[in-house]
């Protein structure tokens, strides 16, 4: 450092003179106020230099971020967008799991009747034929599933098994036009036949005379007649009763209790051993009321 400020070298007398001068200035500054103006001016100069250095550093940082490395900023933004997309996907999965857990809890409330057993199953596919209301489930003969077995969701009757494989089965929904089942009205014990209409949200009652004690909002359940469906499971609710001029019977519309086009978690009903259907029972070619 000495050579930088004194390129010709510094002799010992001069060095001693500078040291003595420095010590003298320190003593004068300590015991007098003569150097106060100079010290204040030097402090102001120092603060100014610090500010200039700070601004220079901030300008350098800004330049490096926004001018010198735009590619790095773009890369970081793309990475952040990818992370947001992943988090949104995980949030959707959590929402689906929450909905599935809610449905499973609802299924637990569908307690079996005395002597009956329930087996949880899941929908794996839907029939590609739009005129056929059929679904496929992930249970089969390996699980004891049999033709004619009743299938429920958390709200009511879905349909019956019409075909069974080792690990899967086909279920005909109660909304299919080929399906019919005996039902009874809760309270009045009126018995009639509910048929599918090809509409997931509408059934109809067959041959209802005007004198039958039936009203809108009456709840319908399986009657147990014919031995195919266990009694007491919800089928639907009467939504409209009309009579066309010249017709001998009423037209009764019923809204199904089960969520026929939405439910995925289902239940298979196993009757008590003594009431199990005989092995000779086969899938009905055209499931109608006469086959119940």
- Residues with Cβ within 8 Å of residue 206, at least 6 apart in sequence: 180, 192, 193, 194, 195, 289
**Taking 50 as the threshold, does the pLDDT of residue 287 lie above it?**
no
Query: pLDDT band at 290, cuts 50/70/90?
Result: very low
Which comes out higher in pLDDT, residue 228 or 94? 228
**Taking 80 as the threshold, does the pLDDT of residue 13 lie above it?**
no
The CATH code for residues 116-279 is 2.40.10.340
Report d(CA 274, CA 71) in Å as an integer: 76
Over residues 79-120, the pLDDT tens digits come to 787 777 667 656 655 655 666 666 665 665 555 555 578 888
User: What residues does 205 pair with on adjacent strands?
Assistant: 194, 252
**Taking 70 as the threshold, does the pLDDT of residue 234 lie above it?**
yes
Phi-psi map region of 227: left, alpha, beta (phi>0 left; psi -120 to 50 alpha): left
State the burial class of residue 257 (Cβ atoms within 10 Å of its Cβ: 0-12, 13-18, 19+).
Answer: buried
Which comes out higher in pLDDT, residue 154 or 182? 182
The pLDDT of residue 174 = 96
Report d(CA 220, CA 131) in Å as an integer: 25
- In the three-class reduction of DSSP (H, G, I as helix; E, B as strand; rest coil), residue 124 is classed as strand
User: Any idea which of 43-57, 117-131, 210-224, 253-267 has the lowest mean pLDDT?
Assistant: 43-57
Query: pLDDT band at 246, cuts 50/70/90?
Result: confident
Over residues 174-205, the pLDDT tens digits come to 999 999 999 999 888 789 999 999 999 999 99
pTM of the predicted model, to two decimals? 0.59
Average pLDDT over residues 157-177: 95
Query: pLDDT band at 279, cuts 50/70/90?
Result: very low
Report d(CA 236, CA 209) in Å as an integer: 19
Rounded to the nearest angstrom, the gap between the alpha carbon of residue 234 and the centroid of all alpha carbons in its chain is 26
The pLDDT of residue 26 = 73
User: Any idea which of 11-15, 125-129, 195-199, 261-265 has the lowest mean pLDDT?
Assistant: 11-15
- In the three-class reduction of DSSP (H, G, I as helix; E, B as strand; rest coil), residue 172 is classed as strand
Mean of all residue pLDDT scores within the chain: 77
The pLDDT of residue 125 = 94
Give me 157's structure tokens: 């009757």
Query: pLDDT band at 277, cuts 50/70/90?
Result: very low
State the burial class of residue 146 (Cβ atoms within 10 Å of its Cβ: 0-12, 13-18, 19+).
Answer: middle
**Taking 70 as the threshold, does the pLDDT of residue 217 lie above it?**
yes
The pLDDT of residue 155 = 86
Instruction: Give, in order, the Cα–Cα distances in Å from 221 to each of 119, 192, 216, 229, 232.
Output: 21, 11, 15, 10, 5
Report domain extents, the chain: 116-279
The pLDDT of residue 75 = 78
- In the three-class reduction of DSSP (H, G, I as helix; E, B as strand; rest coil), residue 151 is classed as strand
Specify whether the CB–CB gap between 152 and 181 falls below 8 A: no
Give me 209's structure tokens: 């005379």
Average pLDDT over residues 249-260: 93
Over residues 36-61, the pLDDT tens digits come to 666 666 666 666 666 666 667 676 66
């Amino acid at each position: 450092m000495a050579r930088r400020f004194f390129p010709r070298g510094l002799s010992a007398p001069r060095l001693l003179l500078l040291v003595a001068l420095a010590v003298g200035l320190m003593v004068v500054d300590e015991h007098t106020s003569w150097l106060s103006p100079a010290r204040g001016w030097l402090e102001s100069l120092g603060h100014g230099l610090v500010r200039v250095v700070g601004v220079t550093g901030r300008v350098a940082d800004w330049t490096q971020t926004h001018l010198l490395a735009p590619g790095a900023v773009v890369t970081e933004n793309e990475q952040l967008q990818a992370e947001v997309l992943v988090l949104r996907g995980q949030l959707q999965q959590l929402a689906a799991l929450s909905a599935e857990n809610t449905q499973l809890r609802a299924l637990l409330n569908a307690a079996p009747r005395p002597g009956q057993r329930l087996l949880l199953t899941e929908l794996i596919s839907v029939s590609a034929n739009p005129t056929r209301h059929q679904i496929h489930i992930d249970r089969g003969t390996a699980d004891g599933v049999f033709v004619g077995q009743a299938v429920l969701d958390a709200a009511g009757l879905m349909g019956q098994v019409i075909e069974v494989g080792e690990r899967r089965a086909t279920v005909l929904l109660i909304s299919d036009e080929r399906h019919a089942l005996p039902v009874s009205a809760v309270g009045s014990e009126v018995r009639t036949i509910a048929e599918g209409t090809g509409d997931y949200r509408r059934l109809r009652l067959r041959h209802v005379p005007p004198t039958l004690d039936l009203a809108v909002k009456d709840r319908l359940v399986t009657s147990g007649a014919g031995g195919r469906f266990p009694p007491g499971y919800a089928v639907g609710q009467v939504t409209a009763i009309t009579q066309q001029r010249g017709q001998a019977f009423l037209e009764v519309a019923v809204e199904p209790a089960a969520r026929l086009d939405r439910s995925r978690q289902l239940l298979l009903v196993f009757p008590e051993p003594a009431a199990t259907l005989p092995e000779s029972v086969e899938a009905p070619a055209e499931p109608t009321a006469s086959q119940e």
